[in-house]
Amino acid sequence: MEAEFDIVIDSGLFHAMTDEEKPVFARQIHRVLKPGGKYFTLCFSDKDPEGYGPRRIPKAEIKRTLRHFSILSI
């Protein structure tokens, strides 16, 4: 499956992966998106209060992991 999707939606997966899994995940998203396709993710921000849910993801980590994408908004 190469460049098949216009949109990939991730609701709660990115923040649950290990640091080793995230770059592999990003490469696979890039591989299946059509040129000009969009990837949307919903994850816990490091600005969210601690105490519930999974690990918080700092903006710098998102940018580093998804560096092959044009990030429109975080």
Query: With helix as H, strand as E and coil as C, how does 5-45 read?
Result: EEEEEEECCHHHCCCCHHHHHHHHHHHHEEEEEEEEEECCE
Question: Would you say the pTM of this structure is higher than 0.95?
Answer: no
pLDDT, one tens digit per residue, over 36-68 is: 999 999 888 888 787 777 788 889 999 999 998
Residue with tokens 């998102």: 62
Mean residue pLDDT of the chain comes to: 89
